[in-house]
Amino acid sequence: MSRKNKTIAQRSASRSRKELSSIAARIRYAREFRNMEPQALRARLQDIGLSVSKQLLHRYETVESRNPSLSIIDGIADVTGFSPGWLLFGKGQVFTEDPFTQIVRAVNLEYLYRQPRQERPAPAALKAAGVSAETLAQARARPFIVSIDDHFARAVEHAAGKPVGWLDAPPDTRGRRGRAKRMVDTLELIGEALKLTEPQRRALTGMLKTLNPD
């Protein structure tokens, strides 16, 4: 695969530890790891009340002497899932997010948007809660690449009229009966959230049946 055809994330993954020795390099790495263009990161930061211009972000990613404030570091950590300490010092735990929570949030978000339109969060309510249409579209189209952070999760819950923590709760029966039916429903949601192909969904179903044949 040529460099021209590689995704942002693939290009960032090829960098060595030496190339990540500066704050600027680690900020750019975190953005590219999530396959985010600069304007996408700026939009996510804007969602949480942090305004960063195109020129300023470029400086943060290229000029070591132009280090961002701690609030900006925390904001970048929130929307990318990287640890603030790692962004600042390049040491310690790289990620702060729990992969299981990310899966659960992605599945529940897909479940929410499979409901009738009147039961979904209204665009105006999402905007008022601090979630842009662009951010929502990215989270649904590229789950696990775009981090569903705490701010996003709480804002969606508020806009949808759900209790705090609803998006983090593993899928339950949601009023349906039958263990097999529940498993099929949950697998469908996981398939949608992960954007699996039909053969991949069948393989996942087979694996789970092997682990839990009843």
pLDDT in tens, 71-103: 999 999 988 888 899 899 988 777 776 667 777
180, pLDDT greater than 80: no
What whole-number distance in Å separates Cα of residue 139 and Cα of residue 145?
A: 8
Residue with more model confidence, 48 or 142: 48
Query: In the predicted model, what is the mean pLDDT of residues 168-193?
Result: 60
Which pLDDT belongs to residue 174?
45
- CATH 1.10.260 domain extents, the chain: 3-89
Alpha helices in the chain (DSSP H): 8-13, 23-33, 38-47, 54-62, 70-80, 84-89, 99-112, 123-129, 133-141, 150-160, 179-194, 198-211
Residues 6 or more apart in contact with residue 208 via CB below 8 angstroms? 183, 187
Q: Minimal CA–CA distance to 80: which of 182, 9, 177? A: 9
Mean pLDDT of all residues in 117-130: 88
Mean pLDDT of the chain: 77
* CA dist., res. 151 & res. 10, Å (int): 27
Q: In this predicted structure, what is the pLDDT of residue 53?
A: 95
Half-sphere exposure of 73 (CA within 13 A, CB side): 16
Say what the pLDDT of residue 133 is: 85
Identify the CATH class of 3-89.
Answer: mainly alpha
- Cα-only R_g, the chain: 19
Q: What percentage of the chain has pLDDT greater than the value 90?
A: 20
Averaged pLDDT for residues 163-168: 80
Highest mean pLDDT among 51-60, 135-144, 147-156, 189-198: 51-60
Q: Which residue has the higher pLDDT, 141 or 179?
A: 141
Asked if residue 44 lies in contact with residue 79, where contact means CB atoms within 8 angstroms, the answer is: yes
Q: What is the pLDDT of residue 164?
A: 74
Check pLDDT > 60 for residue 120: yes
Q: Can you tell me which residue has the tokens 């990318």?
A: 80
pLDDT: is 210 or 66 the higher one? Answer: 66
